[in-house]
Structure 1
Amino acid sequence: MTAHPDASVWLQCTTPRADAGRRLVCFPHAGGSASFYRDWGPRLPAFEVHAVRYPGRAERIAEPAPADLRQLGRDIADALVPLADLPLVLFGHSMGAVVALETARHLEQLGVSPAHLFASGSRNAPLPVPEPFDEDADAVCARLVALGGTDAEMAADPVFQELVLPYIMSDGRMFTTYDHRPEPVLRCPVTTIVGDRDADADCRPWPALTDGTFMEEVVHGDHFYLVDEPPYPLLTAAEVAPARRG
């Protein structure tokens, strides 16, 4: 599969900043869309914020939802290359952290070095034995409510179940069938951000996935800590390497 030649298909930027010194690329969680990050641009004046538009939802609802997480990362990386004139900071939450990992790997193969990777809703821990995806729609809805990203009334709404639940299910299948590989190892710094009450964090051996520096930041909250307290200070304070190609 080749990347779409128009990066705007893959990326949404609600607050363009011609004077920005760096770009922040935000990857939604499973079942999420670019709109999850719609308020981040005005709150992060040091960045030009771009949110990733996954196929199969929102403006891309007519397209098939992605089924291969590694290929999804490659396609996003291809779309990001024209934006690599500034340092690219990648921020992914939950499943989005792993999509960001695969995007960063492909960017480095293309000769573009990300300045930093933030893996939110994920912690440094041994990779657990993968469990099969639960295809029961009611169980998936109950899980969404328990995670805190969806309220019970929304999950029960027929429109939600008709339009949104299918791509949530698709993302769940894609994530649970993703075959984690320890290589290629990244060169960029990696920071994980995890809530102190997050019992549902993705577990991954992040320090072994990069030759760059690694830090883990523990913040107050559960798996969706960033709804109430987005990690703006951590992003702003992070050391960012200059844009580099080749």
Structure 2
Amino acid sequence: MSAHPALPVPAAGGYGSSWRSSPWIRCWSPRPAARFRLVCLPHAGGGASAYRPWLALLPPEVELLAVQYPGREDRFQDPLVDDMEELVTQIADALVSALDRPYAMFGHSMGSAVAWELAHELRRRGAPGPRRLFVSGREAPGTVTAGEVHRRTDAVLCRELERLGGTSLEVLADDGLRPVVLGYIRNDYRLIETYRPAPRAPLSCPVAVFTGESDPELTPGSAARGAGGWADLTTARAEVRTFPGGHFYLNGRRREVVAALLRRLDPSLAENGQRWPSTP
């Protein structure tokens, strides 16, 4: 596949470089000459650092941007956001200036719904759409049964986190850290469990659905039925890729996940996978 030329950068007031100083975006390894940008959205309770290990697996042609939700990691003192519309609006405000070249979005679990909403918000603003949308570990918006975990006790919330994996049991057992961590996790559960997507016209980009073979949130069986509902949300192709593992399969299968993503973004990126160093 031939290289996709970078889009021209409009004058001030259009797509500039303000995203580089935004508290919402992390870019640990700037790659000004990159042909593509990969925008990653974390899961409920997750932070941008979940995607930092991907840097060593991405070629120089791809610049990684990870969204940092408030209230955690280096944004610990920033007010939490528990409303999807408000969250997406603020992410879009920060991200729109980064859309001066082709990009894709990857969201895991709650991040899948955030990515989908973000694609619609960017389209509403007349911004370029993603070349491809990667959604992981979650059925399509509008098909997921609403939950009430955010209303339950800390003990119930901890059991839910243990069921899904991905959260350190040592952290949950620490009397000092547990209330802090459960505070922003509960906030994220409130956001995603009270989220009700509005009807919209389908997107026009291909959608790749990634899931773990034993993921209780998006089983291979449900994924096989219309790509977990995602096929109805795009006029382009929707496909399913299953990996060994559970809900957080992407932690243990990081190299395979990134390779599968690169093949779908541009086959030449994966074909030349041995040409770049193992560290960013």
Same fold (TM over 0.5): yes
> Is 1:142 matched up with 2:159?
yes
TM, length-normalised to structure 1 = 0.89
- CA–CA separation in structure 2 for the residues paired with 1:75 and 1:102: 12
Which of 182, 189, 192 is 1:165 aligned to? 182
SS at match of 1:238: helix
Q: Which amino acid aligns with 1:164?
A: V
Q: Write the deviation string for residues 59-106 of structure 1: whole angstroms up to 9, x where unpaired.
A: 222121111112212221221111111112100000000001111111
Q: How does 1:79-158 map to 2 (within 5 A)?
A: 79-111=94-126, 112-123=128-139, 127-133=143-149, 134-158=151-175
TM-superposed CA distance for 1:150, in Å, is: 1.5
User: Match for residue 11 of structure 1?
Assistant: 25
User: Match for residue 70 of structure 1?
Assistant: 85
User: Match for residue 196 of structure 2?
Assistant: 179
Which of 211, 215, 221 is 1:198 aligned to? 215
Q: Write the deviation string for residues 130-177 of structure 1: whole angstroms up to 9, x where unpaired.
A: 132342111111211121111322211123213211000000011100
**Which structure would you say has the larger RCO, counting Cα contacts within 8 Å and 6 or more residues apart?**
1
Comparing 153-162 and 215-224, the one that deviates more: 153-162
- CA–CA separation in structure 1 for the residues paired with 2:198 and 2:233: 9
- CA–CA separation in structure 2 for the residues paired with 1:171 and 1:228: 24
Q: Which amino acid aligns with 2:41?
A: F
The higher radius of gyration belongs to 2
- Tell me which stretches of 4 or more aligned residues in structure 1 moved more than 4 Å: 123-126
Comparing 201-210 and 176-185, the one that deviates more: 201-210
- CA–CA separation in structure 2 for the residues paired with 1:125 and 1:217: 19
- CA–CA separation in structure 1 for the residues paired with 2:72 and 2:189: 14
- CA–CA separation in structure 1 for the residues paired with 2:54 and 2:89: 25
Q: Which amino acid aligns with 1:189?
A: P
- CA–CA separation in structure 1 for the residues paired with 2:25 and 2:141: 31
- CA–CA separation in structure 1 for the residues paired with 2:170 and 2:23: 31
Task: Note closer, same or farther for the CA distance 1:12–1:124 as it changes in structure 2 (3 Å cut).
Answer: closer
Q: Percent identity at matched positions?
A: 39
TM-superposed CA distance for 1:226, in Å, is: 0.6
Instruction: Give the number of the structure whose residues are more often strand, by fraction.
Output: 1
SS at match of 2:23: helix
> How big is the alpha-carbon RMSD for the aligned residues of Structure 1 and Structure 2?
2.0
Given that 2:18 and 2:97 are in contact with CA atoms closer than 8 Å, whether structure 1 keeps it comes out as no
Task: Note closer, same or farther for the CA distance 1:182–1:215 as it changes in structure 2 (3 Å cut).
Answer: farther
Given that 1:90 and 1:118 are in contact with CA atoms closer than 8 Å, whether structure 2 keeps it comes out as yes
SS at match of 1:38: helix
Gaps of 5+ in 1: 241-246
> Is 1:227 matched up with 2:227?
no
- CA–CA separation in structure 1 for the residues paired with 2:43 and 2:141: 19
Task: Note closer, same or farther for the CA distance 1:28–1:82 as it changes in structure 2 (3 Å cut).
Answer: same
Given that 1:182 and 1:209 are in contact with CA atoms closer than 8 Å, whether structure 2 keeps it comes out as no
Q: Which amino acid aligns with 2:264?
A: A
User: Match for residue 58 of structure 1?
Assistant: 73
- CA–CA separation in structure 2 for the residues paired with 1:236 and 1:30: 25
Given that 1:124 and 1:192 are in contact with CA atoms closer than 8 Å, whether structure 2 keeps it comes out as no
Given that 2:139 and 2:217 are in contact with CA atoms closer than 8 Å, whether structure 1 keeps it comes out as no
Number of matched pairs: 236
Given that 1:31 and 1:167 are in contact with CA atoms closer than 8 Å, whether structure 2 keeps it comes out as yes
TM-superposed CA distance for 1:117, in Å, is: 0.7
Q: How does 1:41-56 map to 2 (within 5 A)?
A: 41-45=55-59, 46-56=61-71
